[in-house]
Structure 1
Amino acid sequence: MFNVTVAEASSILGVSVGRVHQLIRSGALDAEKVGGIWLVDRNSIETRLSSVPAAGRPSSHPAGKGQARYLLMSRNHPVLSFRFDSATGEFFDADEVMDSARAPLSVVSPRGKKASRKALAYWWGHRVIPKARHGIEEKLRELGIENAHDLPFRSMGLSLSDQYWVKPIDSNLDWADINFFENDFIEIETEEWLANVGLDSPDNTSDGALSKRWVCRDGERRLLKGGTLLEQEPYNEVIATNLFNRLLKPEEYVPYRLEEWGGAVVSSCPNFLRSDEEFIPALYVAEIARRPEGRSSYRHYVECCERLGITDAETALGKMIVGDYVMANSDRHWRNFGIVRNVETLECRIAPLFDTGTSLWCHIPTRELPFASFCSDAKPFFEDANRQLRLVDDASWLDLDKLTGFPEWASDFLEENPAMIGRTDSIFEGIQTRIDRLRAIFG
């Protein structure tokens, strides 16, 4: 009998309204639309209640209040079990490993026998919206959540950056029914960045301080990201796209474009992962082996990539370093470059370049820019950009003639942003100076 509203079904099942809509789309709940309103079949709700056991099972450690036992899954592969205390955000008993090969890198011991509770908590902490994200504290209060670590559990830890998710230990949930790669997710029609947080949405696991939001557009998953005071970062992403388009192959970078969102200009890019792939930040790649004393972080990272079967890491790093040099990228930290792994075959490849927004001296005040445009801090291997550039041994791929006209194009494009008044001449000069230096080094 179709007589239960979505809100009533949400209350009966103890899940969010967004989760009910997802269950309807997947066919797990029978429903029909009457007068523009979804009504759910009461019998299917009762069937759902009886088929999904309560979380938890006997443990060698008695569960405290607010603790539940979960499985960490990779698609439909059980990886490890753990207890999580929603009141404190603490993980317990993360030591029952089912599939060490598919575990997050650095979480499981080298022999694959144990999982580090501390490493699991650290890894999970980067699936949580940071407190630095504007408006998140108010959103948490609105949702009645004290600890941000509990937020991803609202959508089972689902992400569009990897294939990991969590479920109660004996739940019969299936990846095909719930993942965001193949199933549409709830989008509230509002221009508020955090509107979907708390629903069944990949926004619950979006890391980073800048405002961002996932959207579904014509079957494509796109990430929208805002800027800071001058809103220069979105323009920088498009400029980097133009740069990479001149120098690299299409599969080696993520293309960005500008969109308008909430009365402001934002950058928009497609998800670079297929539905059977995950992004692994370089931070975790570098932890698969202990770095020998005296070995540089650069050389160690290349060797770790080779252990994973990646043979072109050094060439790819050279392309990243050169691109970041031209863009004066000051934030290529160890989480925004890395590798892509197929979670079924475990084959790995270099991830395309993305996230170049914090560049072109966007954080330097306009009055100081004429005196600072030829220098910038660098990451990840050296703070000195010129020293980092010397790591590039093979530049046979670099055709500097393709950069003819790039500084002019970049400065003209930036002038479309009204906040760039008084900045573009210095930025043009800074880019041109860096290209001239590349010519002096690589000919």
Structure 2
Amino acid sequence: MNGTNITSAEAARLLGVSERRVVALIHSGDLEAQKFGKSWAVSEESVRSRLASGTVSGRPPYGQKRRDLIQAYTLMNKNDAILHFVFDNESKRVVKVETDEHVIASPVGACRGIGKPTTAQLTSWITDRYIPENRIGLREILAKTGCKDPAELLFQTFGQNLTDQYWFRPEGSDLDWNEINYFHNPYVGNVNEKGPGSGTPGMLPKWWEQRDGKNFLIKGSDQGEREPFAELLASRLYKRLLEPQDFVAYSIEEYEGKPHSVCENFITEHTQLVPLREVMSCFRRPQYEPYNYAEYVEVCNELGVADIERQLAKMIVCDFLTANIDRHDMNLGLIRDSETLQFVGVAPLFDNGRGFYYSAQRESDFGSRPFFHTSHPFSEYPSSQLALVRDYSWFDARKLDGFEDEIVETLSRNELLPAWFPRAAAKQFEIQLERVIEAQEEHDR
């Protein structure tokens, strides 16, 4: 055997296979080698020839196989490189992570504390940006966009959404955030087009539109069309009780003859929404509902968030009044400055479409007691969650005088509701309000 010889380990590294596979190739005659004791001297020329022929076979390391199914990206915060990752389009997993200069700006939901995200954590965070499999109309969206699944749709829009400034820059690309972001640049406002809706989670059909330089979310409903009217009613209740900065205001518009809720984006190019789930998994430990109220308050205080208990009190009381069943751990949270990375406040109340007795199907579901429903995120029992409220100084029941009439007027516009529903809902609201007043009196004693 003439020429330069290399070890079996070096041959394995060059071929991208295991040493056991190299030995098998030697025994099959596909590689030239000579054995000295227990070691092999492999002909480097035969290794190079095999590489040149493109017939490398065996079980290559993960990062070297199926090159058509993996892609390298840089996770960016605007134009700051945070980390580099490799994504497997088949398994939908991040398989490699390497940090960059601005790793401290990693998404809160992708790491535990301040540090390097793991592949599992980054995979989970990316998955939370997908359109979910239960999105109404998903099949039509994928057909129109030519994507095979929500992951491909997200990556084709560079992983962007309108709740933060993170995006995925493909390896070797010189794309600039200022050229592609949805805060500055035009996009097609349509449920079946690629755009910011491609990275907006949630079951209901939804898309974004630009109006006079601002971004608005348009959201549909399920077959009963209850959600838009619940959003509108919640906004009217909040307007009576709360400060304007405490909530997102919703209106109703018709698209293709069906009611949709419309609201302006409360996130700007300088802020990020960090949901409760991500706050707790980063600064405490991964956990699930019901969350520990005192622990969440403690974390928020450590992060410098002002008036956290007052803001949580507003949420809990309003959710009790409306019997909201959808205040899950991604539907509340904190606001973070995307440049200083400081937490600057509590997110306004948003996504209230499963309120106002959404789960009621029969007139007998209403009664003389508080409405039976599952609450979130600190207790599944509404009364137990209401007992957590520590601040009623903002609550003035007199501001809700006559609100029952607004309930009847608003819900009567939904032609799909039974005729008895609007007045039954108004009566139920009176019962919910009486219980809150009792809780306030008990607290103030």
**Bin of the TM-score, shorter chain as denominator length:** 0.7 to 0.9
| Contact 2:135 2:205 (C-alpha < 8 Å) held by counterparts | yes
Q: Equivalent residue for 2:71?
A: 68
Shift of 1:77: 1.4
Q: How large is the RMSD of aligned CA atoms in angstroms?
A: 2.2
Q: Equivalent residue for 1:423?
A: 421
Q: Equivalent residue for 2:437?
A: 439
Q: Equivalent residue for 2:111?
A: 108
Q: Equivalent residue for 2:208?
A: 214
Q: Equivalent residue for 2:393?
A: 396
1:142–1:271 Cα change, 3 Å = closer
Q: Equivalent residue for 2:96?
A: 93
Q: Equivalent residue for 1:377?
A: 374
Q: Equivalent residue for 2:181?
A: 179
| Contact 1:369 1:423 (C-alpha < 8 Å) held by counterparts | no
Residue 311 in structure 1 maps to residue 309 in structure 2: no
Q: Which amino acid aligns with 1:173?
A: L
Q: Equivalent residue for 2:353?
A: 357
Of 317, 329, 334, which residue of structure 2 is paired with 1:339? 334
Give identity over the alignment, percent. Answer: 33
Unaligned runs of 5+ residues in structure 2 are 1-60
| Contact 1:151 1:204 (C-alpha < 8 Å) held by counterparts | yes
Q: Equivalent residue for 1:124?
A: 126
Q: Equivalent residue for 1:322?
A: 317
Q: Equivalent residue for 1:53?
A: none
1:296–1:340 Cα change, 3 Å = closer
Q: Which amino acid aligns with 2:139?
A: E
Q: For residues 195-274 of structure 1, what are the structure 2 equivalents within 5 Å?
A: 195-196=192-193, 199=194, 201-274=195-268
Under a length normalisation based on structure 1, what TM-score does the superposition of the two structures give?
0.80
Shift of 1:412: 1.8
2: CA distance, partners of 1:365 / 1:225:
23
2: CA distance, partners of 1:223 / 1:292:
30
Unaligned runs of 5+ residues in structure 1 are 1-58, 189-193
Structure ID, larger Rg: 2
Q: Which amino acid aligns with 1:91?
A: V
Q: Which amino acid aligns with 2:117?
A: A
| Contact 2:366 2:428 (C-alpha < 8 Å) held by counterparts | no
Moved more, 304-313 or 154-163: 304-313
1: CA distance, partners of 2:153 / 2:78:
20
Q: Which amino acid aligns with 2:399?
A: K
| Contact 2:221 2:260 (C-alpha < 8 Å) held by counterparts | yes
Q: Which amino acid aligns with 1:361?
A: Y
| Contact 2:112 2:283 (C-alpha < 8 Å) held by counterparts | no
- Specify the SS of the correspondent of 2:282: coil
Of 295, 309, 323, which residue of structure 2 is paired with 1:300? 295
1:338–1:171 Cα change, 3 Å = same
Q: Which amino acid aligns with 1:162?
A: D
Residue 414 in structure 1 maps to residue 411 in structure 2: yes
Moved more, 360-369 or 72-81: 360-369
Q: Equivalent residue for 1:10?
A: none
Shift of 1:254: 0.3
- Specify the SS of the correspondent of 2:267: coil
Moved more, 132-141 or 121-130: 132-141
Shift of 1:141: 4.6
In the alignment of these two chains, the number of paired residues is 375
| Contact 2:132 2:202 (C-alpha < 8 Å) held by counterparts | yes
| Contact 1:109 1:116 (C-alpha < 8 Å) held by counterparts | no
